[in-house]
A and B are shown apart, each in its own frame.
Chain A
Amino acid sequence: MYGRGILKGLSVTWKRFWDTYLDDISWLLRGKKRYYSEEGIKHRASKDQRGIFTVQYPEERLILPEEARYLPFLVYDEKEDGSKEQRCTSCGICAKVCPPQCIWIVRSNDPQTGRPIPEPTEFFIDADICMNCGFCAEYCPFDAIIMDHDFEIASYSRNVYNMEKLLKPASYYQKIRPENYKRNEEERKAKEAAKAAKAAATAAQASGTEASPTS
């Protein structure tokens, strides 16, 4: 019969239509919120979703996975006395590994000796050129540059970020990437512990060698 295939196809569309309402009703009966709730959004982005799958941006937002990356930012640690300590040592690896070369770093020099000191004077990222690849964060040896989750950066002019705009506290990093932060902290602690152990060992050895001739 001509038209059978079309009817069959239409039944698929029809099923979709009803599925949306059936889903709504079942959520209602269970007393749960399908819209404007984290659970509902998660459900709509899961394999069990049957009806409509749209999320009403900007009122509703998809939940970003931790690894999501947009633009990079610089991390500073907050000290107990309230001062900021930058993690960046201006080693320049991020600038070297940046595929579109959008990172510009001015290294600081000690005014007395003229030697470089581990802190950048200026740090620019041309956000319009950045291709969001995440290499800078991946290869940074100090976890000083991290990919942000904030993607709403539309503006009327070019987005050239300087240090003021780029610096964000470590607590923000912990908030958006808890797993990564935890891993980093553990690595840092392990490194520091190893360093301390090594220092203690050399100190012990030194005192040992000092002690041995006298005895």
Chain B
Amino acid sequence: MTTPALTSTVDLAARFPGVVSPDARPGFSGFIVEKESLIEVATAIRDEMGFDLLTAVTGVDYLPENKMEVVYCAYKTIGGPGLIFKVQVPRVDPVEVPSLIHLWPGVDLQEREAWDLMGIKFTGHPDLRRILMWEGFEGHPLRKDWKEGFYEEDTKPFKSRWPDGQFYMAEDKNPFKDNLTFPQNFDPEKWIPEGDALLYGALARYTVKNESGLSTDRIVINMGPHHPSTHGVFRAVMTLDGETIVGLKPVLGYLHRNHDKIGERNTYLLNMPFTDRLDYFNSMTNNFGYAITVEKLMKIPVAERAEYIRIIVSEMTRIQNHLIFIGTLLNDLGAMYTPSLYAFEERELILDIFEAISGARMMCNYFRFGGVVRDIPDDVMQKIKGLVHERLPAKTDEMERFLSENEVLVSRMKGVKMIDAEDAIRYSITGPVLRAAGVPYDIRRADPYGIYDRFDFDVAVRHNGDLMDNYLIRIDEIRQSLRILAQAIKQIPDGPINSQKPVYQVRVPAGEAYGRIESPKGELAFYVVSNGKPNPWRYHVRPASFVNLTALEKISVGNKIADFVAVLAMFDIVMGECDR
């Protein structure tokens, strides 16, 4: 197994003596930076050392040591291992850390998330509002001393289930049916969300004079949360000047279920089916990301045949995701139903295969630490071969014939700017959107995981960065995935499918791991901290759609509102992953 090194050999401590020290805890890596010199060190990391892509920012609550930690993961877009640096602050409110938003604008939503869920105040952040929880919510739910509604025990399995598991419904136990806490003097009838006033206040610039001296009114529009083109419950608050967008703020969190906290309550294995529900189109790649992260922590190899099976299922996932993307994009652009149903045909065939090997079409729960749960039987392998060699290549060509030259589509997408390469990197965009902007950055090649280094494929890249390129790159990627699949099917060896014994309680040594994969939507990463107990101490998901949305404001301002629908479709967001 090729495990990419967690950190590179950059010696930050020698460059900044006194303010940077290596993280010496066993199982941990990276550097601890003093809070006061964070900006100085981060600037050097970006400008001198070339770590231009800051992928993840998150917090960890070390309650027993009474401190909070902010973890940053930076990578180079030219490829190679990353650099993890951390800031530790005492756990006394207000917990304050300087914001890096001026160095990497891409941290915007992630810093807001860390403030919302962990209560870490990023000084210098211009718009530090709650993002996933509702305005007026009390407390920070990812802190270790926070208890949720229907709290039963800190960790699963709960003692009430066995051996004396008399069933009761959680809501029957509580006289108030739930145990939410509200701020003092809270009256829902009279309450005006403070954040909303701020949100609209930031956008409203009522009357303006245009060049010819005519006074015009600007209007604020809420697009969503229930809008067919926002792919779920996503709201964009926009200020419009005529049809042109002059201000935009994304509002998320309608589907928030505190996935990270659920993950910290679960044991390591129990998290696997929960990751299915993040990006519900791509449960196989979600499983993959989580499995390699925990395998990194456990330091176990993966069975050879399982490595190939993993590649096969995740490339098939990529194909079906991109097919859905094309279908829903056309749906958003007004070509109702026909293209999406054509795209769904092939997806059905792929999902049939997933159902035959994993038992479920979408919530696959197929990966286990050290391998996969079930082998691919011969008849299913024949089906896969038929799809990869006959059906899917023909289908991709047909999709091209059907859509790529369509004049209406071309005039709608060609030349409408998405984002350029420099901004895409600054905004931490990953995945097809970054590659369509001309940056050939694909984790499968730049920082290989699994056995991707054994296959011959090209990193799809397009250079115009307009909507048309964002559409075409998906077709390119389907073709590359088919190349990988053809090789994997040919080379797959016989053998066991798991290197470990099937146990339901795995032993995970203390330490941290940041595991990242190239999911169809971009970088999907898991940051897991173990303290040697059966449950992870910290379990963080870095979803691609959520971080990519940071650039939505930057891209949309100046565009027409009709193009906003297409821009949002290009991000290919899934709210299950965004809101977690």
Binding site for B on A (CB under 8 A): 2-6, 8-9, 12-13, 16, 45-47, 49, 53, 64-69, 90, 92-93, 95-99, 101, 103-107, 116, 122, 124, 126, 131-135, 138-139, 147, 158, 160
Contact in complex: A5, B407 (CB < 8 Å)? yes
Contact in complex: B273, A13 (CB < 8 Å)? no
> Restricting to B395-435, which residues have a CB under 8 Å from any CB of A?
398, 401-410
What residues of chain B lie closer than 8 Å to A69, measured between beta carbons?
Answer: 359-360
Of B108-116, B157-165, B197-205, the one contacting chain A is B157-165
Measured CB to CB, the nearest residue on chain A to B276 is: A133
Number of chain B residues close to chain A: CB under 8 A: 55
Pick the residue among B157, B163, B390, B402 that contacts A12 (CB under 8 A): B402
> In the bound complex, how far is the Cα of B505 from the Cα of A97, in angstroms?
8
Contact in complex: B359, A68 (CB < 8 Å)? yes
What residues of chain A lie closer than 8 Å to B273, measured between beta carbons?
Answer: 99, 131, 133, 135
Binding site for A on B (CB under 8 A): 156-158, 160-167, 169, 266, 269-274, 276-277, 338, 342, 345, 348-349, 352, 355-360, 363, 365, 373-374, 383, 386-387, 390-391, 398, 401-410, 502, 504
Instruction: Add 14 more A-B contacts to A5-B406, A92-B162 (CB < 8 A).
Output: A9-B402, A9-B406, A16-B342, A47-B383, A67-B374, A69-B360, A99-B156, A99-B266, A99-B273, A104-B167, A106-B164, A122-B167, A131-B273, A133-B363
> In the bound complex, how far is the Cα of B504 from the Cα of A92, in angstroms?
12
Q: How far is the CB of B266 from chain A (nearest CB, A)?
A: 6
Measured CB to CB, the nearest residue on chain A to B374 is: A67
Contact in complex: B502, A122 (CB < 8 Å)? no
What residues of chain A lie closer than 8 Å to B387, measured between beta carbons?
Answer: 47
15 A–B pairs (Cβ distance < 8 Å), ordered by A: A5-B404, A46-B349, A46-B383, A47-B391, A97-B157, A99-B266, A101-B156, A103-B161, A104-B167, A105-B161, A122-B165, A126-B167, A135-B504, A138-B373, A158-B169
What residues of chain A lie closer than 8 Å to B164, measured between beta carbons?
Answer: 106-107
Contact in complex: A99, B401 (CB < 8 Å)? no
Contact in complex: A160, B373 (CB < 8 Å)? no
Interface SS, B side? helix
Contact in complex: A45, B359 (CB < 8 Å)? no
> In the bound complex, how far is the Cα of B164 from the Cα of A116, in angstroms?
11
Pick the residue among B269, B342, B359, B409 that contacts A67 (CB under 8 A): B359
Would A96 and B162 be within 8 Å (CB), given that A45-B349, A47-B390, A101-B157 are in contact? yes
Q: How far is the CB of A109 from chain B (nearest CB, A)?
A: 9
Measured CB to CB, the nearest residue on chain B to A91 is: B162
> In the bound complex, how far is the Cα of B360 from the Cα of A135, in angstroms?
13
Contact in complex: A104, B166 (CB < 8 Å)? yes
Contact in complex: A116, B349 (CB < 8 Å)? no
> In the bound complex, how far is the Cα of B166 from the Cα of A107, in angstroms?
10
